[in-house]
A = this chain, B = another copy of it.
Amino acid sequence: MKEKYGAESGAVDGNSAPDPSESNSGAESGTVDGDSAPVPSESDPNTENRPMHCVVGGAHAFILRISSFFGLAPLRFESRSNGFSVGISSAMCVYSYILVTVLVISTIFGLVAEINVGVDLSVRMTSRMSQFVSTCDVLVVVITAGAGVYGAPKRMRNMLKFMESVASVDTSIGAHYSLATERKLCGILIAILLFFSVLITDDFFFYALQAKKKNRQWDVVTNYIGFYLLWYVVMILELQFAFTALSVRARFQAVNGALALTARHIAVPLEKVRDPTPLNIFAIRVAAESRRCANNVSLLVDTMPGREHAVIIRNAVSGEPKLVVPPCEAIRRLACLHGSLCSVVQRIGNSYGLPLIVILISTLLHLIVTPYFLIMEIIVSAQRIHFLVLQFMWCVTHILRMFVVVEPCHYTITEGKRTEGLVCRLMTSTPSTGMLPSRLELFSRQLMLQSVGYTPMGMCTLDRPLVASVLGAVTTYLVILIQFQRL
């Protein structure tokens, strides 16, 4: 039966010219596999450093514009009919570097100035100990923002590259663009930023008011303005990562949707059919000028250079998605797409590695220190209501920051597990004849070897168990502290 496969797949692809020779030679002589095939120069060096562009829209364009303002996305935006065409901009790089350097220097000078004022006049550093804690706090923010901004050009270049992978998924799957989803995401984004702005402003005014009693309000304003602006940079960096991860996760969802459609096509019953048109595909579309080179990511071009072959699902006029290739071929292409999405996840994890680790450590430290002050304030005295509310809001913010980073990763892992479940279901239910079982076996082995997950710098996996262990450590620590307080 194996000898028939070449012809079979040839018939499927519609262009059987090169295939029979291959299958024949494979059956008859041993010299074919490596020698006769010319090595295609698909990864020629000039594609590496060509100017990269891609078209973004919706929530992703929104976060990129904000990031760009804070120096975290040195991109040039050109308005198009369907969004913005973005590309690396040298001018924006210079702007980013100048911005963050000025902020970092002013922050550090402010810190030194506050320390030199002494413990009696300062409003935040009323003891040597709090001088030390405040210095740590400021340094953590400075390092995170620095790691974010100085690494931004490289990160954006990476982003442009993997957006091509992502766009090839969109083409293959026949994805829709949902304005409603994009608007909802923009709404969430604005809500988080507004909440954070209110908190930062409140915190700022609280200490300015405290300082007014000592007639130092203008000193405090000039000393801390850089610090508060860097906090913004950190927050935007986290949101940028979260939206990038969510955007990749939407593609995993689309692949799973296509897998479910394939399953229904070969009469495998599924418990619950998700909405057939995965509308929450975000708006990333590779522009026309980079469409040509998108081929070297779409792995399905090995037999003919036609532009329609990568399409797995096309939407009929009725809006119903329809498989345009046989299931066996669909599984093969979906496995390829899954593999390239896995490597996209890995590359995102690498490019956000250092900032994510610094963010996690700083969140852990803040989650240990802030609730302690909050609880002590509650137990010892409840007079300073403003301080109490401020501390509570900081607590909420730090927990929120952790969830902003971890939840998109968790959703991605969940989609990865759904893929495993769907492949299992397909394996047990398909008949054992034809190419399908061997394709599914390949897919299952691929799933065993490649796991979906963000591991910044290989330090830890960003998932809910990480949140559980962080919260567990914080809880135990707080209980110990409060218990001893009690003694």
Query: Scoring A residues 395 to 420 as 1 if CB is less than 8 Å from chain B, else 0, what string do you get?
Result: 00000000000000010011000001
Report yes or no: A459 in contact with B465, Cβ–Cβ below 8 A: yes
Report yes or no: B4 in contact with A302, Cβ–Cβ below 8 A: no
State the Cβ distance, A126 to closest chain B Cβ, in Å.
12
Report yes or no: B326 in contact with A482, Cβ–Cβ below 8 A: no
Which residues of chain B are near A346, meaning CB under 8 Å?
Answer: 421
Question: Counting CB contacts under 8 A, is A444 at the interface?
Answer: yes
Residues of A within 8 A of B (CB): 1-12, 22-23, 26-35, 37-40, 42-43, 48, 128-129, 132, 161, 262, 264-273, 296-297, 299, 301-302, 323, 325-328, 330, 332, 335-336, 339, 342-343, 346, 361, 364-365, 368-369, 372, 375, 378-380, 410, 413-414, 420-421, 423-425, 427-429, 431-439, 441-442, 444-450, 457-460, 463-465, 467-468, 472-473, 475-477, 479-487
A449 to B339, CA, bound (A): 17
Report yes or no: A432 in contact with B129, Cβ–Cβ below 8 A: no
A89 to B433, CA, bound (A): 47
Report yes or no: B27 in contact with A4, Cβ–Cβ below 8 A: yes
- Assuming the contacts A30-B9, A423-B449, asked whether A129 and B458 have C-beta atoms less than 8 A apart, the reply is no
Report yes or no: A266 in contact with B434, Cβ–Cβ below 8 A: no
Report yes or no: A485 in contact with B33, Cβ–Cβ below 8 A: no
Report yes or no: A458 in contact with B449, Cβ–Cβ below 8 A: no
Q: 13 A-B Cβ contacts within 8 A?
A: A2-B432, A26-B434, A32-B326, A33-B327, A42-B269, A43-B264, A43-B271, A43-B272, A343-B421, A423-B449, A427-B442, A447-B449, A460-B468
State the Cβ distance, A296 to closest chain B Cβ, in Å.
5
* Copies of this chain assembled into the complex: 4
A176 to B62, CA, bound (A): 49
Report yes or no: A26 in contact with B1, Cβ–Cβ below 8 A: yes
Q: Which residue of B lies closest to A13 (CB)?
A: B30
Report yes or no: A267 in contact with B39, Cβ–Cβ below 8 A: yes
Q: Which residue of B lies closest to A132 (CB)?
A: B379
For the complex of A and B, 5 pairs with smallest distance between CB atoms: A8-B30, A26-B433, A34-B326, A34-B327, A26-B434
